[in-house]
Structure formats: structure tokens, C-alpha cells
Amino acid sequence: MRTNYVVNSGVRFQLLSDDQLQELFDGVLHLLEYTGLDVYHDEARDILEKAGAWVDGLRVRLPAYLVKDALTKAPRSFTLFARDGNPKHNIHIGPGRAHFGPGPTCPNFIDVETLKRRPYVKSDVPLVAKVCDALPNIDFVESLGTVGDVDYELGALYEFAGMFPNTSKPIVAWSYDRFDSAGIHEIAVTEAGGQEAFERRPNYVHYCEPLSPLVSTFEAVDKLIFAARHRVPLIFTPCPISGGTAPVTSAGIIIQGAAESWLGLTLAQAIQPGLPYFMGGVFSVMDMSSMILAYGAPELPLNMAALTELAHFVGLPLWQTGGVTDSKTFDEQAIIEGSMSVFFSALTGGDLCHDVGYTESAMTGSVFQLAAMDEAIGYSRRITRGIEVNEDTLAVPVIHNVGPNGHYLREKHTRRYYKNEFWYPKLCDRRNYEEWEMMGKTSFKDRTVARVQDILATHQPSAIKPETERVIEKVLAEAEERVKDHK
Amino acid sequence: MSELYERIATAVIEGDAEIAEKLVRRGLRKDLVAKDILDNGLVVGMGEVGVRFKAGDMFVPEVLMSADAMQAGLEVLRPELVASGIKLIGKILMGTVKGDLHDIGKNLVNMMCEGAGFEMVDIGFNADPETFVEAIKEHQPDVVGMSAMLTTTMRAMAYTIRAIEEAGLRDRIKIMVGGAPVDAAFAERIGADGYGSNAPAGVDLAKRFVSAA
């Protein structure tokens, strides 16, 4: 018998010590209590004031006890559900579980036929959702773009309406305003079978983005209030840029960004105690020669690892970032930057890692980058799964029976384990030279393109209910009606 | 009866030796011809295994299970086949050359060739040229396979082929070579008839040799 036997079931990774985390935590609380944030929303300030915040004009300061109280209310573990009940598409949020998916709102897209960069259009949405639905290591769905060929008020709504029927994986939905949010919610709730059923099994997450430094914009907070009142799991994700909209130091950007995120947390928990809540977001550097927000910088995964540890230290799940690149094309840079950040993200166990498939510093979405990263995520997950040590995996009798100069190919032990112990690549080529030559000397890029095109030609996502289809049509028609005057 | 052939093929594909053996026995009880059971059942199943393996839909341990199932069926048929004077598709003599103690690659080719319906003679590892020559005289194979794992031992393939030539046996057999450091150019340089880059390629090569003969 093994008593008090310690098991490390996966790879352990730790960047910061508990003392450092405590110092960051105290730093965030200090910022919220003494500096505060400007909140451009009357109702939000009222709600916060009633909860115990100090309000002075736009400025809202949160006493530490209020923030700590909100932290205790938010759950660390919960489930996001597949709209069709497929358990494989559910996402269980909790310690040691890293999940991956694309990001929203790139203005451009790599065309899946021509492989050329062009503006993102409505017809790209279902394609992205379908590819996400089929890729085994992509867990949640966003669209990789801002729909450019519909009324400029309605991009987010068309985006959700295009994604929802084409994947049953949980969707992370952003929106321009409360009207979008209401339309999106109506679609999701119809499919779930009503508000109560939705609350028990939420099938999407609402994404809001405050402004750095230290501003809660009207739209961000307005959408947060909508989501909290309807008990939609929430992501409140700032995008501070070191050296520009945040301190140049990692510790500085982390406490400022966390303060921005926890203002949202405190408001959300005041409205809806126990609401599942992810702190975010994208914490990278301003490249001091090109002025871009660098998605491929090593400081991004580094900051995100520290932020993940801070989130888990206080018992919150994190909206992670990875699988991204500043490269303009599908090249070695794209794969290095994407794979390194994906692996780092997997090591941290950050709960939902988004922006997988971003290229050109988030200016262009690419399902090819996404599919390539699906491979990198699979690779990373095999490593983070770790090594199991027990009597059976030690294989002492197997080794004894095979003996010197024997082989293990025919052993039952081999047959029992080889599928789970080894990871099998979908895109990386391991054939010998002759076979590789015979199969057309394809490159990684060729195989990635072929896989995406094969998915698009063959993958069939599960259908939504007929009543949901009707609600989608109704919601879009109502939205067109609402904006027709400014056309 | 095509349904029974299909079930035998399926048992081979699924690597279920017990079922394969049972179904072959049932076929014989129902007065099916042994050669037909072999060709329409076992060989068809193994052929499909080869296709799936190449496509990446089956893995080596599964292929070996299938080869075992094929073998189990073949054992039942063997007395019938021998009695009716039917030869298996061919006989292969296989060995790892002198100086090389690596066994697994050669064994893998053996198992897969057996699964494909060949009769195999294994002379083991570290086999010197004389051992090859004597074994060829004794067993009269259609194909001789040589394996080497090391760049230092692959030269022994050349010496072995020379010994076979000097013994006057070269024209009777086809020679195939394989192993990690070996390639097609080397095979040609030492006067082999062909090279297999992995175990399934070796099986294909052997099949081509015997069907051309």
C-alpha cells in the first residue's frame, strides 16, 4: 500500500512565489482603494456605491473588503455547455484545465480558397465556426473577424447568428451594445429551452472590454450589467499595452490590468452573486519601433503566465491569450510565436486561452494559423498531461518477459497503452523520405491548407432547433429595422 | 458463402485470432476449398489492413494483431493446402547480417510477410554469409531478405550477396534489403534487387518479386 504518496499528475510550472503573488494582490487592492477607476455609467456607479464603493464624480474607489467579498462570491469551477448536449463539447473550468479557441474582431481574413488577405465578410463566419467545431483541440469559438459587409452597427449580431448554427462548442460572444447582447441572448436562450434552462446550462459566454488605463467605458459596463442580470458567464478583459497604456514593467501592467478587471468583477457580483466570471486579457508590450501591440512578443506569454497565477491565487479563472503572431504570412515566425505561446499557456493551465489564429498583430484572422495551432495545442497537451507512475506503467513483468534483444510490439501491454501514451500528429510528417516524396513532398503549410479545406468540404456540425432558426431570422430582421434610419 | 469470407476478412482486420480460426474451421466444415478461404477471406482482410496502415488509420500493434489472426486462420488451412499441393504465395528467407545484433526490424518484416501469406524462414541475427548460403540451399526460398541497423554492418550485406553469387545461387532468388541506414542507392550499388524503406514496403516488394516470377 502507498500511503501519503505524492502524485504529480501533470507537468508543474510556477513563475511567481506566493510572496510575489501576495504582493501583486496587495498592489491591485491598493490601486482600487486609493486610485480607483473612472466609470462612465450612472447606474453602474449607483450599484457600486450601494454595495459600499466610494464614488466621487466619475471616479469609483473600491475598499479592499468589497473586492475580497466579490472574489469569494465568484466560482473557480463551473461548466460551459455544448448547445446540443454533446458532452465532448462541454468545457469544465477548474484547476489544471487549459482550453483554447480563437479571438474576435480582426478586420481582415485569409481567404480559404485564394489564401490571400482581404477584408473579413459575413460568409467567413460559418466557415470559421465549422473549422473550430471540427478541430479536436479547439474548445470554444469566436469568429476571428469583424463582419465588414453588413451595417456597421450589426457586425457582432451577424457574427453570432453565423456562428451559432455552425458549431455546438460554447461560443464567446462580444457585442457593440446592449441591443446586440439582447439579440444574442435571445438566440442562445431559445436553443437552451428558456432562461431558466440557460442558467443551468449556459451555452455561451459574454465578452466585454474595458479601456486601459483605468476606465470602465459606458458600453463595456452596460453590456456587463445586461450579462450579469441574465446570468450569462462573463469575461471582462482589458488590453493594456506596456509602455503605452500601462506601466512598462510586467508587475506594473499586471496590477493595473487586474484592477481594471476587478472593477467589473465587483460590479458583476453586486448584481448577480456567484456569476461565473473570467478576468482577462491581453497583456503585452508596445513595440517601441513599430508602435504596434506585439502579439508575438515573449512578454505576452510571460505576462499571461503571471496573470494566470494571480487569477488562480485569488480563485478566479483566467481569459488567457496564445497561438498568436505578428507575422503577415503563414511562415516560420507565425509557427514559432504561435507554438511557444500556446505551450506556455498550456503550462499555466490558464482557463480559456483565446486569440488562437490571430496573425499580423490581430489585424488578420487565419483559420490556417488556427489549424496549425490545433496541432501545437495537441503536442502541448501531451506534455502537460505528464507521466503516470504505477505498477502497471512501470511494466516490470513485461520487461522481464521480453528480456534482452526481444521486442515489445506484440505485447498486450503495448496494445493497451500505445494509443494513449503517444500523441499522434495530424499535420506534422514523420514518414521516411521515400514515402514523403511519394506523397507529393508536401510542406507543413500544404498539409494545413489541405486539412482546413477537407474539413470545410466534409464536416457537418449538429443542427440547431427549428425554433432557434426562426428566432435568428427574427432577431436579425428587428436589428435591421432598428438601424435602417441611419442608412 | 461470400458472407463467411467477409466475416473472416473482418476478423483479420479486427485482429481477432480466435474468431478468425473459428470461422475458417466453419468454412472447412461447410466444404469450402481451403485455397478459396485463404484468397477470398484471409488475404482480402490482410490486404485491407495494408491499405489502412498506409493511410494512417491503423498502427503497427494493430497490424500485428491482424497478422496473428491471419496466422491463426492459416494454421487451420495449412494441412489442407499442403494435401492439395497448393503453395503459399512464396517463401522468404530472412536474416540480420553478420556483426549486427538488431532483431526487431527484421522480426517486424517477418510478421508482416507472414501475415501477407508468405512462408517465412528466419535465420536470426548476426548471420554470416555462409549461414545465408547454406540456408538458401536447404530451404529453396523465392526471396532472401537482409537487414542491417548500423552503418558499420551494412557492408556485410554486400559480402553476403557476393557469397551467394560465388555459390552460384544468385539467379534462383530475389534479394531485398532494409534497415535504418540502408537506402535505394545503396541497395543498387551492392547488387540487391530491391529495397524496402519500412516493413510494409518490404512486404510489397516481396509480393512484387513473387508475382513477377
Same domain? For B145 and B175 the reply is yes
Q: Determine the residue of chain B that is closest to A430 in CA distance.
A: B56
For residue B213, the model assigns a pLDDT of 60
Question: How many structural domains are present in chain B?
Answer: 2
Of A12-16, A334-338, A483-487, minimum mean pLDDT range: A483-487
Average pLDDT, integer, range B92-114: 87
The verdict on B120 and B155 lying in the same domain is: yes
For residues A458-484, give the mean pLDDT.
Answer: 96
Most A CBs within 10 A among B71, B104, B149, hence the mutation to make, goes to B104
Is the pLDDT at B52 greater than 80, yes or no? yes
Residue B98: CATH number of its domain: 3.40.50.280
| Same domain? B6 vs B23 | yes
Same domain, B108 and B199: yes
Q: Between A and B, how many CB-CB pairs are < 8 A?
A: 33
Confidence of residue B120 (pLDDT cuts 50, 70, 90): very high
Q: Contacts of residue A434 in chain B, CB cutoff 8 Å? A: 184, 197, 201
Give the pLDDT score at A163: 98
The pLDDT value given to residue B43: 87
Q: Residues of A at the B interface (Cβ-Cβ below 8 Å)?
A: 405-407, 409-410, 414-415, 418-419, 432-435
> Homologous superfamily of A78-385 in CATH?
Trimethylamine methyltransferase-like (3.20.20.480)
List strand residue ranges (DSSP E) for A48-157, in order.
54-56, 59-61, 78-80, 91-93, 99-100, 108-110, 117-119
pLDDT at A19 over 80: yes
- The residue of chain B nearest to residue A426, with distances taken between CA atoms, is B56
Do B103 and A405 lie within an 8 Å CB cutoff?
A: yes
Q: Considering only alpha carbons, which residue of chain B is nearest residue A409?
A: B61
Provide the β-strand partners of residue B143.
Answer: B92, B174
Model ipTM value: 0.75
Return the percentage of chain B with pLDDT > 90, whole number.
54
Which pLDDT score is estimated for A1?
A: 64
Q: What DSSP element (H or E) covers A364? A: strand A364-365
- Kindly tell me if the per-residue pLDDT of B156 is higher than 70: yes
Statement to judge: residues B105 and B44 lie in one domain: no
Q: State whether B10 and B95 are in the same domain.
A: no
pLDDT band (50, 70, 90) for residue B85: confident
Residue B77, domain CATH: 1.10.1240.10
Domain ranges of chain A: 78-385, 391-421
pLDDT digits (tens, 9 = 90+) for A423-470: 999 999 998 888 899 889 999 999 999 999 999 999 999 999 999 999
Which residue is it, cell 485463404? B38
Examine the fold and report which residue of B30, B48, B83 is the final residue of a domain before the chain moves on. Answer: B83
- Nearest Cα residue in chain A from B185: A434
Q: Please return the burial class of B155, using the count of CB atoms within 10 Å of its CB with bins 0-12, 13-18 and 19+.
A: middle
| Mean pLDDT (whole number) for A361-382 | 97
Give bridge partners of residue B146 from the DSSP assignment. B95, B177
Pure H helices in A96-177? 124-134, 155-163
- Verify that B46 and B101 share a domain, yes or no: no
Do B8 and B32 lie in one domain? The reply is yes
Sheet holding A54-56, edge to edge: A54-56, A59-61, A37-39, A215-216
Q: List CB contacts (< 8 A) between A419 and chain B.
A: 59
On whether both B166 and B182 belong to a single domain, the answer is yes
How many Å lie between the alpha carbon of B10 and the closest alpha carbon of chain A?
19
Q: Is the domain of B127 the same as that of B78? A: no
Buried b (16+ CB within 10 A) or exposed e, A384-397: beeeeeeeeeebee
Domain that holds residue B31: 2-83
Tell me which residue in B60, B197, B201 faces A409 most closely, judged by beta carbons. Answer: B60
Q: Which residue of B has its CA nearest to A434?
A: B197
Q: Which residues of A are less than 8 Å from B72 in CB distance?
A: none
In a shared domain, residues B76 and B100: no
The three grid cell numbers given for residue A247, joined into one nine-digit string: 506601466
d(CA A230, CA A223): 11
Taking the C-alpha atoms of residue A414 and residue A409, their distance in angstroms, rounded to an integer, is 6
Contact flag A418-B197 (C-beta cutoff 8 Å): no
- Pick A384 or B56 by higher pLDDT: A384
Facing residue for A415 by CB, picked from B61, B103, B201: B61
Query: Mean pLDDT, to the nearest integer, of A304-311?
Result: 97
In this prediction the pTM is 0.89
Domain boundary at B40, B67, B83, which? B83
Q: Which tens digits make up the pLDDT trace of A163-196?
A: 999 999 999 999 999 999 999 999 999 999 999 9
